C-alpha cells in the first residue's frame, strides 16, 4: 500500500474531466481517480507523488506514454514507493554518455537519470488498475514505441497521448521525430497516429504538454505536420496509402501496399483470410538502430481490411521465413484477433525459441506455432491448396509457398531476390550454401507458377528469359564461391542450443555443400581435437556436454586454413 504518499490538503490538481485531474511539473501528470484510488498517466519529475489529489489514498499504477525524461524522471521514485510502473514494451532506458561517432539522433535526447524496472504494456490490450480500464494504443511519433491510453471516465471518452501533440497545429518538439540522422520518420508516424486517434472520436485528448484538444484539433495538426513532410520530400504517398492500403489483385487476393515486407492476403469465399507474412504493417520509416524500443509493430490497416474488403476473420499467418519484417506483427494479430501461426517445419523451432539460435533478424519474443506443416505435402484451407517447399538462399531456413486456387498457381518466395526480382539477396550469417540460388531457380522452373511474389518486389510473370537469367546467376554464384575461398570456409557450422541449461547436451552439425570431402578436426572446449570426415554434399553430427560456462567450438582444416568458430554460453535458462 502507499496510503502515506500525500498529506497535502491544498490541492494543486485541476479537474479537466469528471474523474480526471491534472498537475503540472516537467509535464502534465494526469490522475484518473476512482474513489480513493487512482492511476497516474506519466509522472514528470516525481513531485506529484508527494502531492496527490486530496481524495486519493492509493496509486495503483503509473503508465508512461514514452521514456523521455520530462515524463518519466519520477518513475524510479514511484517504484521505490511500491507503485508498479508500466511502459512501452522495451522499458525506459536511462541516460548514457557514450556518444562518440553516434549517428542516432535520438541518443542525444534527454532520458531519465535513474534506471527503473518497468512492466510492459502491449499495444491494443486492455488493462484494469483499481477499477480503471485503460486501452493501450500504439501512436509512434515522438518515439518509435510511443503509446497513448484510452479511458472512459464518467461517460467521457478520454485519450492521453503523451508527446504526440501539444496544441492545435503544434507538436511539443520536432527533434524527437527524427529517428535517423537526417530523416523525418516520426513526422510520418505522427500524422498516422493523429489521424488514427481522431478517427476514434474522443471527447477530449490530453497531451503531456499543452492544452486539452479535440478530434478536429488532431486532424488540423496532422495537416500542418504534412506540410513539413512534403517540404522534406519524405513519404510522398503517405496519405494516399492510408486511404487505400490494400490492392485487390484478384477477388480472393489482396496485397498490403503499406507493409515493410510484402504481406499478402488470401481471402476465402467464406470471408476468412490467411496472411502470407505479417511483419510491420504500414511501414512509414524506422529508426537507425534495431533495439526493441525502436521496433513496434501495429495493426494500422486491419480495420480497412475488415470494413472495405469483406474479410470477417484473420485465421492464420504463414511466414516465408523467420525474419522480423515478415513475422513481427504475428503476436499482435494473435492477441487482438485470435489469429494462428502456421509454421513450416524447417523454422518452427526458430520462431518458438529464438533465444536458442544464432541468426540475424530474429524477433524479440517467442512465437509458439499453433500448427507445424511438413514440407512438400499439400494441404487444403477453404478453397485453396497450399504446399510449402524448402527454399534456402536468402536464409537457410525459408520456404517457397505454392498456392493453387481458382485455376492459378502462385508462388511466394520471400526475400530470395531484391527489388528488381533479379538481385541475389543473401547474407552469409543466414547460412548461405553456395548452390542455394541455382537450386531455387530450378524449383521455380519445376513448379511452373503463373506469378512469383517476392518479399520486396512486385509480382513477376516467370518468362523463359527471366528464369534463364536467374539460373545463370545462381550457377555463377556457386562457381565463384567455389574459387574465392578455401574449403573450410565453404562449410557451415550449426550449434544448438547456443545457451544450454546446466546438464543439457549441445548438438554440433557440420554441413558440407561442396563436391569435395573435408578432413579435419573438431575441438569442443578443452577437449582434445577429434578427427572428423564430412563427405561431399554430406554432414557430420555429434553431441557433447559443455565443460565450461563459455565453451568454444572449433572446426579446423589443414594448417593455415581459416577455422570455423562458434561457442555456447552455459547456464542461461530458457523455456
What is the structure's pLDDT at 3?
47
What is the structure's pLDDT at 37?
97
What is the structure's pLDDT at 525?
85
The whole-number average pLDDT for the span 134-152 is 97
| CA separation for the pair 144, 124 (Å, rounded) | 16
Assigned C-alpha cell, 307: 470494413
Cβ-defined contacts of 265-271 (< 8 Å, 24+)? 265/305, 265/309, 265/311, 266/381, 266/384, 266/403, 266/405, 267/309, 267/310, 267/311, 268/381, 268/382, 268/383, 268/384, 269/382, 269/383, 270/312, 270/382, 271/310, 271/311, 271/312, 271/313
Does the pLDDT of residue 548 top 90, yes or no? no
- Which tens digits make up the pLDDT trace of 366-408? 999 999 999 999 999 999 999 999 999 999 999 999 999 999 9
What is the structure's pLDDT at 383?
98
Q: Which band of pLDDT confidence, cut at 50, 70 and 90, is reported for residue 29? A: very high
What is the structure's pLDDT at 11?
74
Q: Which band of pLDDT confidence, cut at 50, 70 and 90, is reported for residue 6? A: very low
What is the structure's pLDDT at 526?
84
The whole-number average pLDDT for the span 455-483 is 96
Range of weakest confidence among 5-9, 335-339, 482-486: 5-9
What is the structure's pLDDT at 575?
41
Cis peptide before 370 (omega within 30 of 0): no
The whole-number average pLDDT for the span 106-124 is 93
Residue 259 sits at φ, ψ, to 5 deg, of -75, 155
The whole-number average pLDDT for the span 344-359 is 96
| CA separation for the pair 162, 172 (Å, rounded) | 10
**CATH H superfamily, domain 487-569:** Immunoglobulins (2.60.40.10)
What is the structure's pLDDT at 138?
98
Same fold, 246-484 and 487-569: no
- Which tens digits make up the pLDDT trace of 400-442? 999 999 999 999 999 999 988 899 999 999 999 999 999 999 9
Burial class from Cβ neighbours inside 10 Å (0-12, 13-18, 19+) for residue 374 reads exposed
Fold of 246-484: Metallo-beta-lactamase; Chain A (3.60.15)
Q: Where are the beta strands (DSSP E) in 306-450?
A: 313-318, 340-344, 371-373, 379-381, 384-390, 399-405, 408-412
Torsion of CA 400, 404, 407, 411, to 10 degrees: -10
Q: Any bridge partners for residue 316, and if so which?
A: 274, 340
Of all residues in the chain, the percent with pLDDT exceeding 90 is: 90
CATH architecture of 14-232: 4-Layer Sandwich (3.60)
Domain map (residue ranges) of the chain: 14-232, 246-484, 487-569
> What does the DSSP 8-state code read for residue 316?
E
| Pairing outcome for strands 14-17 and 28-34 | unpaired
Non-local CB neighbours of 238 within 8 Å, separated by 6+ positions: 188, 191, 192, 226, 229, 284
Q: Which band of pLDDT confidence, cut at 50, 70 and 90, is reported for residue 344? A: very high
What is the structure's pLDDT at 93?
82
What is the structure's pLDDT at 574?
42
Cell 543439457 sits on residue: 504
> What does the DSSP 8-state code read for residue 141?
S
Alpha helices in 3-110 (DSSP H): 69-72, 75-80
On whether the CB atoms of residues 182 and 223 are closer than 8 A, the answer is: no
Does the pLDDT of residue 203 top 80, yes or no? yes
Burial class from Cβ neighbours inside 10 Å (0-12, 13-18, 19+) for residue 82 reads exposed
- Which tens digits make up the pLDDT trace of 262-284? 999 999 999 999 999 999 999 99
- Which tens digits make up the pLDDT trace of 168-179? 999 999 999 999
Count of C-beta atoms within a 10 Å radius of residue 179? 24
Q: Any bridge partners for residue 534, and if so which?
A: 518
| Pairing outcome for strands 37-41 and 313-318 | unpaired
| CA separation for the pair 533, 550 (Å, rounded) | 26
Amino acid at each position: 500500500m502507499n496510503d502515506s504518499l500525500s498529506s497535502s490538503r491544498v490541492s494543486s490538481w485541476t479537474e479537466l474531466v469528471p474523474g480526471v485531474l491534472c498537475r503540472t511539473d516537467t509535464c502534465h501528470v494526469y490522475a484518473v481517480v476512482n474513489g480513493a484510488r487512482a492511476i497516474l498517466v506519466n509522472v514528470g519529475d516525481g513531485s506529484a507523488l508527494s502531492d496527490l489529489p486530496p481524495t486519493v489514498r492509493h496509486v495503483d499504477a503509473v503508465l508512461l506514454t514514452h521514456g523521455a525524461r520530462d515524463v518519466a524522471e519520477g518513475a524510479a521514485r514511484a517504484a521505490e514507493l511500491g507503485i508498479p510502473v508500466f511502459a512501452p514494451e522495451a522499458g525506459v532506458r536511462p541516460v548514457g554518455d557514450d556518444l562518440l561517432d553516434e549517428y542516432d539522433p535520438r541518443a542525444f535526447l534527454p532520458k531519465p537519470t535513474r534506471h527503473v524496472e518497468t512492466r510492459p504494456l502491449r499495444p491494443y490490450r486492455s488493462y484494469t488498475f483499481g477499477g480503471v480500464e485503460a486501452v493501450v494504443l500504439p501512436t509512434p511519433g515522438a518515439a518509435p514505441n510511443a503509446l497513448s491510453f484510452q479511458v472512459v471516465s464518467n461517460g467521457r471518452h478520454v485519450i492521453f497521448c503523451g508527446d504526440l501533440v501539444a496544441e492545435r497545429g503544434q507538436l511539443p518538439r520536432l527533434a524527437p521525430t527524427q529517428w535517423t540522422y537526417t530523416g523525418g520518420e516520426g513526422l510520418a508516424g505522427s500524422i498516422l497516429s493523429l489521424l488514427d486517434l481522431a478517427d476514434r472520436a474522443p471527447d477530449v485528448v490530453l497531451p503531456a504538454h499543452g492544452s486539452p484538444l479535440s478530434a478536429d484539433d488532431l486532424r488540423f495538426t496532422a495537416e500542418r505536420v504534412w506540410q513539413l513532410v512534403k517540404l522534406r520530400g519524405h513519404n510522398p504517398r503517405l496519405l494516399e496509402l492510408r486511404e487505400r492500403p490494400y490492392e485487390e489483385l484478384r477477388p480472393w487476393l489482396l496485397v498490403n501496399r503499406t507493409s515493410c515486407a510484402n504481406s499478402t492476403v488470401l481471402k476465402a469465399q467464406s470471408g476468412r483470410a490467411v496472411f502470407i507474412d505479417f511483419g510491420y504493417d504500414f511501414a512509414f520509416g524506422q529508426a537507425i538502430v534495431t533495439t526493441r524500443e525502436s521496433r513496434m509493430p501495429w495493426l494500422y490497416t486491419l480495420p480497412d481490411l475488415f470494413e472495405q474488403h469483406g474479410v470477417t476473420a484473420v485465421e492464420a499467418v504463414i511466414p516465408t521465413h523467420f525474419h522480423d519484417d515478415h513475422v513481427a506483427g504475428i503476436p499482435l494479430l494473435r492477441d487482438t484477433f485470435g489469429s494462428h501461426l502456421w509454421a513450416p517445419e524447417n523454422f518452427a523451432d526458430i520462431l518458438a525459441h529464438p533465444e536458442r539460435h544464432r541468426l540475424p533478424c530474429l524477433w524479440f519474443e517467442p512465437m509458439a506455432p499453433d500448427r507445424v506443416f511438413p514440407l512438400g505435402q499439400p494441404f487444403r484451407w477453404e478453397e485453396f491448396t497450399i504446399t510449402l517447399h524448402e527454399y534456402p538462399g536468402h536464409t537457410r531456413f525459408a520456404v517457397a509457398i505454392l498456392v493453387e486456387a481458382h485455376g492459378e498457381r502462385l508462388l511466394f518466395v520471400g526475400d530470395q531476390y531484391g527489388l528488381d526480382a533479379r538481385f541475389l539477396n543473401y547474407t552469409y550469417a543466414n547460412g548461405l550454401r553456395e548452390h542455394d540460388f541455382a537450386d531455387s531457380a530450378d524449383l521455380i522452373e519445376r513448379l511452373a507458377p503463373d506469378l512469383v511474389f517476392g518479399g520486396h518486389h512486385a509480382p513477376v510473370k516467370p518468362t523463359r528469359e527471366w528464369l534463364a537469367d536467374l539460373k545463370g546467376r545462381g550457377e555463377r554464384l556457386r562457381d565463384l564461391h567455389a574459387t574465392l575461398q578455401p574449403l573450410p570456409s565453404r562449410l557451415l557450422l550449426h550449434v544448438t542450443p547456443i545457451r544450454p541449461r546446466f546438464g543439457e547436451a549441445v548438438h554440433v552439425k557440420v554441413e558440407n555443400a561442396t563436391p569435395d570431402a573435408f578432413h579435419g578436426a573438431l575441438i569442443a572446449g578443452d577437449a582434445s581435437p577429434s578427427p572428423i570426415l564430412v563427405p561431399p554434399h554430406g554432414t557430420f553430427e555429434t553431441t557433447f556436454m559443455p565443460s565450461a560456462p563459455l565453451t568454444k567450438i572449433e572446426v579446423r582444416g589443414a594448417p593455415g586454413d581459416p577455422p570455423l568458430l562458434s561457442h555456447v554460453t552455459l547456464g542461461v535458462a530458457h523455456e
